[in-house]
Chains A and B, each alone.
Chain A
Amino acid sequence: NAGVTQTPKFRVLKTGQSMTLLCAQDMNHEYMYWYRQDPGMGLRLIHYSVGEGTTAKGEVPDGYNVSRLKKQNFLLGLESAAPSQTSVYFCASSRDSWLNYGYTFGSGTRLTVV
């Protein structure tokens, strides 16, 4: 009964370093999403995927790349980290019939870029 699992939970990066955040879901969901949460701003969509092998840009995609090579995994990459990318990152997934089932979220990754 794992649901959506994010790794790592915490990370500190130096400016210019790269890293990949992993999101894994075991619910056979088609749709997966990456959000960032900043104080006072709610969650904003970075990228999303509507199925294996597909990705699309969300509201704030600049500085991030994603891949969905396997249905259960959605990876978020930062090629050259900047202090403005300090945030809490959440992954979510939903069934193909998202109208009826809503979203399931992971517990988040807290990233600090110094």
Chain B
Amino acid sequence: KQEVTQIPAALSVPEGENLVLNCSFTDSAIYNLQWFRQDPGKGLTSLLLIQSSQREQTSGRLNASLDKSSGRSTLYIAASQPGDSATYLCAVISGGYNKLIFGAGTRLAVHP
């Protein structure tokens, strides 16, 4: 059974810091991996989608990497801003049908 773990569960950093969020999965047979952002009381916004054949994806200050063999993905946020404060969720698609399996998320707080 695929399990997704995100470490740390919570993170507080000063503005301007570069930071890394971690995601690990137990079964390397994934189709793709997706990073989401969730603001309090809101839905999920897709940030980056990495196909199983890709190693990384970039969007603005965000860079996500994927290492299938080790079952890991990282989300790198450069020059963090208070507006980056949110919960970041990692999810993979694996198994015999197309469902997302989520980690519990990392709650990020960027303070001025």
Interface size on A, residues (CB 8 A): 28
With A100-B51, A102-B34 in contact, is A41–B104 under 8 Å at CB? Answer: yes
B4 within 8 A of A: yes
Q: Which of B43, B102, B105 has a CB less than 8 Å from the CB of A107? A: B43
Q: How far is the CA of A94 from the CA of B102 in the complex (A)?
A: 16
Interface centre among B43, B51, B91, B103 (most CB of A within 10 A): B43
Contacts of A40 in B (CB 8 A): 9, 104
Known interface pairs A42-B4, A42-B89, A99-B32; A105-B43 also in contact (CB < 8 Å): yes
The CA of A99 and the CA of B103, in the complex, are separated in Å by 19
Is there an interface contact between A102 and B32, defined as CB atoms closer than 8 Å?
yes
Bound Cα distance from A98 to B4, whole angstroms: 20
Contacting A at CB under 8 A, from B44-82, are: 44-46, 49, 51
B19 within 8 A of A: no
Residues of B within 8 A of A90 (CB): 43-44
Give Cα distance in the complex from A43 to B87, angstroms: 13
Min CB–CB distance A55 → chain B (angstroms): 13
Known contacts A42-B104, A42-B105, A43-B89; A99/B51 CB under 8 A: yes
Which A residues are in CB contact (< 8 Å) with B99? 33, 45, 48, 58
Q: Mark B85-106, 1 if CB is under 8 A from A, else 0.
A: 0000101010001111011110
Please measure, in the bound complex, the distance between the C-alpha atom of A94 and the C-alpha atom of B103, giving whole angstroms.
Answer: 19
A42, A94, A98, A108: which contacts B43 (Cβ < 8 A)? A108
Residues of B within 8 A of A104 (CB): 46
A108 B42 Cβ-Cβ under 8 A: yes
- For the complex of A and B, the 5 pairs showing the least CB-CB separation, nearest first, are A42-B102, A107-B43, A105-B44, A42-B104, A102-B49
Contacts beyond the supplied A33-B100, A98-B98, A101-B49: 18 A-B pairs with Cβ under 8 Å: A40-B9, A43-B89, A43-B91, A44-B102, A45-B99, A45-B100, A48-B99, A50-B98, A90-B43, A90-B44, A98-B93, A99-B51, A103-B100, A105-B44, A105-B45, A105-B46, A107-B42, A110-B41
